Structure formats: structure tokens, C-alpha cells
Amino acid sequence: MFGDSFVFCDDEKNEDAWEYFLENSVSNLEVLNFGVSGFGLGQSYLRYLKDGLKFQPDIIFFSFIETGSRDFLDARMFVRDTNLRNSYIYRVQFWEDENILKNRSVTPFDLFDPNFRKKYLFEPLGVNGKEFLLAKNFLSHLNLGLFLKQNLAKKRYNNKLKEIKSDQYDLERINIMILENLLQTIVKNQSKIIFFCSKPFLKLPQKIQNLLNDYKASVLYVQSTAALEEQFQQHNVQAGDLKNSSDHYNAQGNKLYAQAVLEVLKSRPWPARGKIFSFNEEKNAFLGVE
């Protein structure tokens, strides 16, 4: 399972996470939770490559299919916010190089690199680095100094920031490249992937629809809000009553979340390790046949 805080299950104990309920609802499922709070599609994809593949999973679950603000470094954020602890500063930057998807990790320490500031801060903002307060050679290593400079910079470039478009680069192209790489890896490893996402399939960008159709033998797309709402209605509860103090699902909500995912798994046969597995209600297990 790969995704953000709703996969990680923020503020809930491991035994109250929906992955725990899912694994224990069926006799022969092993469910591994690789969710990380604040992750988007890009970092979830990288975690799958780094950590998930070594377990040779039969089915991959992703809670994202589109890139968004979590998948790129927004220069405006460095000017608007002064808190270096905010997670959006710790990003993975993706770009295309001769039709190859590349990435690099980013931390606040990169702000002290003049080449980094020029490429990811000044140029996207359309300002002259020599005039920009953060370009000073004595860029402070103290939070107080950086705090003061950022606050001054916010006022100086407030009007300029309003003119900047939200997309620093072609997010759609990066989106497709991440998905293509992900799906190619799925096919290579003879796995299947479930995209459990809020947007209806027909509301997805046409290029993503086309890509999923190209890989339809390995992909199942599920509108998560509809699947979850069905469970909520069956149990006569409202989503708002199933949230904890951090606005994530509590134990009861995670039980229903697990049931919604289980219904998806039960809805079709799953090829794995030379067999076809289908759910058997009587034995409460996925049984495989050659």
C-alpha cells in the first residue's frame, strides 16, 4: 500500500490502521503499509522502487494517480513561508532529460547553494537573483537571519508572486512519465496495480485515461469516494463521524476503509505466481488454481 497520511493512518495505532484490519479479515493476505504522510504520486512511486519491489508484491495499491503540489518544488513557498520544518521544502524534484525521468531530493540546505537558488528560486519567480535578498553571500545559517530575510522578501515580491502561474513546469508530462515508469515496472514484475483515487475515471486527464487503457490487463482503477460511501451507507454512518482529531479516519473508519478495499479485491480474480486467485466466501480466503 502506497500513498499519504490516509494510507499511513495518521494518529492511529498500527492495530487500528485499515491495513491491519484488511490483513486480518482474510486468512491468507499479507498487507504491507508503505504510506508516508505528505507523500504524493512521485515520492510514493520512488518508495515503491526503493522498498516495495524487494517484497515481490502480487498487488500494488496506490492512492494517487495524478501529480500535484506535493510533486514539485514551488519557489513561491520559500518566499511565503518562513518555517524550515514544513514538509513541502523536503521535496523530490522531477524533471525530464532527453525523454528520461530524473529526480533529486531537496532539503532547506539547498537554499545555500547559489546554483540551486538560481534554477529553482530566482528563475521560476522571474526575478533577478542579485536583487533578491536570499542571494546575499552572507545568507544566514541561523533561522533568525533567514526568517528576517524571507519576511522582507515576501513584501518586496508580493505583487510579482501573484503573476506566477501555479505550474513551474509541465506537470502533466511529468505525471505521464511517472505513470509510464510505474506501469512498466508493474508489468515487468508480473504484478497488478489498484489505483484507489477520489476522481471518477472519466474526469481524469485524457492522456491518463489512454495510458490506463493501454495497460488495462495490469490495472484496476477504483473511485475511492464511491467505494467508501457505499460502506458508510451500509453501516448508516457519516464520514465526518469517523474522523480522529487530525481529520483522518479513526479505528471505526479504518475498519470500513478496509472493507471497501476488500470488496475491490473480492470483485475479480488475481493472477499470481502461476495461479489465478479468487475469493472463496466459505473458507474466507483467496484460493488459487493453475
Task: Confirm if 176 and 208 have CB atoms less than 8 A apart.
Answer: yes
CA–CA separation, 276 and 262 (whole Å): 17
CA–CA separation, 65 and 63 (whole Å): 7
Q: What SS3 class is residue 81?
A: coil
Q: Is the dihedral of CA 254, 256, 257, 263 positive or negative?
A: positive
> Domains along the chain?
5-68+184-289 (3.40.50), 73-162 (no CATH)
Sequential pLDDT tens for the chain (290 residues): 999 999 999 999 999 999 999 999 999 999 999 999 989 999 999 999 999 999 999 999 999 999 988 888 777 666 665 555 666 667 788 888 899 999 988 877 787 787 887 777 777 767 665 555 544 444 455 555 556 555 655 555 555 555 555 444 578 899 999 999 999 999 999 999 999 999 999 999 999 999 999 999 999 999 999 999 999 999 999 999 999 999 999 999 999 999 999 999 999 999 988 899 999 999 999 999 98
pTM for the model stands at: 0.85
